Every structure is written in structure tokens, then in C-alpha cells.
Amino acid sequence: MPRKASRSIAVVDEHPVAVVPVSERRLSFGGKWAYAPAPESVPVKIAPRYELFVGGKMVAPKSGKYFPSLNPANEKQLAEVALGNAADVAAAVSAARKAFAKWSKLPGRERGKYLYRIARIVQEKARELAIVETMDGGKPIKESRDFDLPQVAAHFFYHAGWADKLDYAFPGRKAAPVGVCGQIIPWNFPLLMAAWKLAPALACGNTVVLKPAETTSVSAMHLAEILREAELPDGVVNIVTGAGETGRALVEHADVDKLAFTGSTDVGKLLAKSVAATKKRLTLELGGKAAHLIFEDAPIDQAVEGIINGIFFNQGHVCCAGSRLLVQEGVFAKVLRKLSDRIKTLRVGDPMDKNTDIGAINSKPQLEKIRELVQAGVAEGGELIQTRCALPAKGYWFPPSLITGVTASHRVAQEEIFGPVLSVMTFRTPEEAIERANNTPYGLSAGVWTDKGSKIFKMVSKLRAGVVWANTYNKFDPTSPFGGYKESGFGREGGVHGLLPYVRLES
């Protein structure tokens, strides 16, 4: 029985999307799934409407306009979100500038206390926040709960530790804050991207105007409540929701000292052009098309699990997703058979079910983009291997897919799909593997599976990617810098390297 919902409370066990296991081995008894759904049942308050967060207050947008934020698993409106315009951005920048005067002078150990407090409150509310993230973005609850939220807290904890130790991060230099930072984030890891941006900026004494992605702004507004609860001084963080135009107003605002952007390469290029003739600092974390390499000497079963995680984690909505699989010819047939068997066991369906492996695609346009690229892959001669499964009638879904017979010139091998689709190719020698892996405009990440340490060192030194995982994939830690080469952007986030964009080093 669904629980009764009050007007401002969405009760999370009222979600009509059926869990649909992909496996053909699934049995159905009298129209009921043999498989028992296990929905997350913690109640969470989701307001019908979210305002802007400016100068420590929730304020209505100057235009009076709001836009819907949908749950992509059922296409229902989850809430409506304020549409910030240039005047709202100006008010937020002005609040950040005012707050900077005091915040930048606060001793590091005091700034650190706020960050520790934020980290602890995030931990306390992690289960609710995970639900908000899943309902607004479509990712499986087990990923929001076991990956995103622990990482969000870890980023605040880690940077809290740096706040009073910047002298040790940059020995012999004085690290002064840069000023007001405009930060623009995407929809694939909404809270985590906010944490990646806010934590180093605040630790170094800067103030911020954050612009979340338009399809996933709700969790950012829950974070705003946490910042208030942590008693972060007014204006140190401001959040202006809206779409591309709102982001553009932030990029073009003359009183922003530093811009940090995570998103597509196309928009990243616009930002680079826009700031070219200004004194603004810029870091760009952009798209990727990672090569994932399996050598004949690799532990094949582990490698296959790594490949599955590398591409299907978060429905493939991951900038570092291992979307180009390169298999050494001698093990190609074996790897393909194991991959084809394994994707049949992945469960696609209700993101709120704790057993779901692949949730909803974040938005309709993203689903259309995935479909278009898969159709192009088939039209160009690729063979599509896809599990047959009944998908829920409502919502945005795409089953886990492999495309074989792909060549380097095919669109699926070149363009970022940002979905649960793996292009499979082969290679003969390590040299050929390196050449094929680097044959992309991107350079964010790569993965290598081999039993030989010497081969790992050789590959890592030759692969033009910011992060290379060996015999594992998708491992993240706030102490480790992350970022790209070439069209994947510049600048690093995480580790000491991630502090650099937020400080002015003086001798």
C-alpha cells in the first residue's frame, strides 16, 4: 500500500516503474515478476518548488519564472525550479563579492571547521540525499547511496583538512584566494560535481556562485539547506539554477575572477572563447571517449567485470566511461562471449530499486542522442548486441548494448555517447593498441588489463589520458587529481593539484 503523501512530501515508495530484470532467464508467474523488487523506503521531503540561494536566503527569481524538473524514470514532475536570469546572477555575484571580504580573511582553521561541519551533515542526511539524486537524475539508488554520497562527504572532509595547511601544500609561497568563482556543473553526478567544485574553492578562501545542470538542480538546493544548517556565512556560496543562458550570464559577468566548468566539450569551447580576452582564470573538465584495453595475458573474468563497470556504471553517463573496448585478437571471441552473457544479467529498471544495475537515462534529449549514435553505428556496418527486455512504458530507458565490427572512423568510435553502449574493437600488438587508444580528440581516461607490470608501465607512459587505471576501473579518491588532455579540458580537480586553480601563489 503506498503511503499517503502530504502536499509537500513525495513519499518515495510511490514509484510506479516496475523493476524489469533484463535476463531472459527471468520467469514470470501469472503476470507477476518472479524477481522481488526491493524499493528504497526512507521518506524524503521534496518541495513542490525550489527558489534561488543568494546571500544566504532562498529568493524568488527576478523573472518570476520556474521550470519543471522531471523524474526520468516516470516522466512526472518532481518539483519546479527557479529560472535564474542575468539579474539573478548579478545579485549572486554581488553577494559572493561582499562575503569574500570576510571569508578570505578568516583563518584557515576556521574555514576548515565549516567544511567539516558540511561533511558531517552530508553524512547524516546521506540516505535522503541519495534518494533525491536518484529521483531527479535516474541513477540506481545503490550507486547514489554507495558511491555518490560517500564521495561527496569525502571531498568536504579532505578539503577541510587542507584549509589550514595551504602553507604545506605550497612550501615557501603564500597561497592567497583568487576571489569570486563561477562554477558550472553537469547532470551526471550532480551533488558530487558540486562537492568537487565547492570544497577546494572554500578551503582556499574563495566565495562561489554555483550553477547546477537544468535537469538535476533539486539536490543542489538540498545542499543549500545543509550550508545554512552548517551556518556557513551568508553569500559564501550562492546557487543560481537555470539552463545554458543562466550559465552564460555567469561566464560573462565581469566581476567573476575564476570559472570552473564541467560539461560538454562544445560548451567548454564557448567558455574558452568568452574568457580569452579577460583576466578570468578557467579550468575545464570536458568530455571523454576512453579506451579500455584487454591483453591476452589479462585475468579475463576480472577484466570483463571491469569492462562492465567501466561502461554501465551510471548508465554510461560518465565522462571517463570506458566506451571503446580494445581486445587483443587472441582473446576476442572469449571476451565477447563473456560480455554478451554478462549483459543479460544486468537489471534495467526502477532506479529506486536496490537491485537495479541500470537506471533511467537522464533526459529525453540524451536518450535521443544515444539512439542516434547507435543507429549510426549499425548503419556504418557495426553489429548490435543488445539484451531483449521489456522496458517500462513511461520514462527514458536504453538497454545495455555492445557494438562489434566498429572501426576507428565510425561515429560510435569517435563521439561521446554518454550512455550504456560499448564499441568493441581489436588490436594485435601493444603498439597498435596505443595508436588506436590515442586516436581520439579526447584524453580524459583509459584502462589497461594485463598480468604484466612492465606492460602496465609502458602503456601508462604512452596513453594520452589524464587518468589511467590498471586492472581496475572507475576508482576515485579526493586525494587523487582528475582531469584531461586535449579536448577533455585542462586543470585538475582533487589532490594538491586541484587546489592550484583556487589560489594565487605569492612569494
Point out the residues that are catalytic: 285, 319
Q: Which residue, 140 or 288, has its beta carbon nearer to ligand NAD?
A: 288
Q: Which stretch binds ligand NAD (CB under 6 A): 22-30, 135-143, 150-158, 182-190?
A: 182-190
In the list 69, 207, 262, 314, the residue contacting ligand NAD (rule: CB under 6 A) is 262
Cα separation, 325 vs 342, whole angstroms: 15
Angle at which helix 300-312 crosses helix 332-343, to 10 degrees, equals 50
Q: Does 210 bind ligand NAD (CB under 6 A)?
A: no
- Name which position in 50, 157, 312, 418 contacts ligand NAD (CB under 6 A): 418
Rule CB under 6 A: is residue 357 a binding residue for ligand NAD?
Answer: no
Cβ atoms of 268 and 189 closer than 8 Å: no
* Minimum distance of ligand NAD from residue 201's CB (angstroms): 16
189/295 with CB nearer ligand NAD: 189
Residue type, 121: I
Q: Of 130, 132, 154, 184, which lies in the binding site for ligand NAD, with binding defined by CB under 6 A?
A: 184
Q: Which of 9, 58, 106, 243 binds ligand NAD (CB under 6 A)?
A: 243
Single out the segment in contact with ligand NAD by CB under 6 A; choices: 11-19, 51-59, 208-216, 292-300: 208-216
DSSP string across 240-295: ---SHHHHHHHHH-TT--EEEEES-HHHHHHHHHHHTTSS-EEEEE-----EEEE-
Nearer to ligand NAD, 270 or 385 (CB): 270
All residues at 6 or more sequence positions from 369 whose CB lies less than 8 Å from its CB, including other chains? 417, 418, 419
Q: Give the residue, chosen from 72, 112, 186, 395, that forms a contact with ligand NAD under the rule CB under 6 A.
A: 186
Q: Is residue 20 at the binding interface for ligand NAD, with CB under 6 A as the rule?
A: no
What distance in Å separates the CA atoms of residue 168 and residue 379, rounded to the nearest whole number? Answer: 56
- Residue whose CB is less far from ligand NAD, 123 or 414: 414
- Encode burial over 93-120: b for 16+ CB neighbours within 10 A, e otherwise: bbbbbebbeebbebebeebbbbbbbbbb
Cβ-based nearer residue to ligand NAD, 103 or 261? 261
Q: Which residue reads 551510471 in cell numbers?
A: 314
Q: Does 251 bind ligand NAD (CB under 6 A)?
A: yes
Grid cell 572563447 in the structure block, residue: 273
- Shortest distance in whole angstroms from residue 459 CB to ligand NAD: 21
Separation between Cα atoms, residue 443 and residue 287, nearest integer Å: 9
Figure out which of the listed residues 15, 142, 197, 211 binds ligand NAD, where binding follows CB under 6 A.
Answer: 211
Asked if 192 and 153 count as a contact pair (C-beta separation under 8 A), the reply is no
CB of 27 to ligand NAD, least distance (A): 38
Nearer to ligand NAD, 121 or 319 (CB): 319
Say how far apart CA 499 and CA 375 lie, in whole Å: 42
264 binds ligand NAD (CB under 6 A): yes
**CA count, 13 A, side-chain hemisphere, 20:** 22
Interface residue with ligand NAD among 187, 313, 398, 427 (CB under 6 A) is: 187
Q: How far apart are CA 146 and CA 144, in angstroms?
A: 6
Answer for which of 128, 133, 143, 285 binds ligand NAD (CB under 6 A) is 285
Q: Provide the CA 217 distance to its chain's centre, in angstroms.
A: 13
Interface residue list for ligand NAD (CB under 6 A): 184-188, 211, 213-214, 243-244, 247-248, 251, 262-264, 267, 270, 285-288, 319, 416, 418, 444, 484, 488-489
